[in-house]
Amino acid sequence: RLTERNADPSFAAGLALLREEAARLGTSVDALALAAVLAQPWVTTVLSGAATAEHLRSNLGATRVQWTSATAERLRALTMDSSDYWRERSSLRWN
pTM listed for this prediction: 0.83
Residues 6+ away with beta carbon under 8 Å from 55: 30, 48, 49
pLDDT more than 90, % of the chain? 69
Question: Which tens digit of pLDDT belongs to each residue from 16-45?
Answer: 999 999 999 999 999 999 999 999 999 999
Contact 22, 31 (CB under 8 A): yes
Q: What is the pLDDT of residue 49?
A: 86
Residue 11 pLDDT level (bands cut at 50, 70, 90): confident
Residue 68 has pLDDT above 90, yes or no: yes
Q: C-alpha angle with apex 3: 42 to 1, nearest 5 degrees?
A: 65
